[in-house]
Chain A
Amino acid sequence: MKTLSLRNLGKTYFDPYAGAHVTAVHDVSLDVEPGEFISVVGPSGCGKTTILNMIAGFIPYSKGDILLDGKPVHGPGPERGVVFQSFALFPWKTVLDNVGFGPKMRGVPKAERDRIAREYLALAGLSHAAHRYPNELSGGMQQRVGVVRALANNPSVLLMDEPFASVDAQTRMTLQEELTRIWQERKPTVIFITHDVPEAVFLANRVVVLSKGRVLDEIAVDLPRPRVWDNLVKDDDFKQLSARVLQMVRAA
Chain B
Amino acid sequence: MNLLLQIWAGYTRLTRRWPGFAAIIPFIPVLALWTAVSEAGVFPRAFFPGPADVVRAFFTLTYKGILPDYLQDSLIRLATGAAVGMAIGIPLGILIGTSRWAHRICWPVLLFFQAIGDIAWLPILLIWFGFGLTTMTFVIVYTVLFPVVLNTVLGVESVPRDLARAALSLGASRARVLWEVTLPGALPNIITGLRNGLGYGWRALIAVEMIVGTSGIGFMMFDARRAGSTVEILLGMIILGLLWYIVDAWVLAPLERVTGQRWGLVTS
Contact = CB atoms under 8 A, between A and B. Distances in A.
Interface of A: 56-58, 75-78, 80-82, 84, 86, 88-92, 101-102, 105-106, 133-136, 149-150, 153
A88 B166 contact: yes
B184 interface: yes
Given A86-B160, A92-B184, A105 B166 contact: no
A77 B163 contact: no
A105 B162 contact: no
Interface residues of B, number: 23
Interface string B161-185: 0110111111111001000110011
A90 B171 contact: no
**Chain B interface main SS type:** helix
Given A133-B263, A136-B264, A150-B169, 13 more contacts: A56-B169, A57-B168, A82-B165, A82-B169, A84-B166, A86-B162, A88-B160, A88-B165, A91-B263, A91-B265, A92-B185, A92-B263, A101-B170
B13 interface: no
B169 to A, nearest CB: 4
Contacts of A75: 168
A105 B165 contact: no
- For B168, B259, B262, B265, the residue with the greatest tally of chain A CB atoms inside 10 Å of its CB is B168
The 3 closest A-B pairs by CB, nearest first: A135-B264, A78-B171, A105-B171
Contact of A84 (B162, B168, B176): B162
B35 to A, nearest CB: 49
Contacts of B165: 56, 58, 76, 82, 84, 88
Given A84-B162, A86-B160, A88-B160, A133 B262 contact: yes
A172 to B, nearest CB: 20
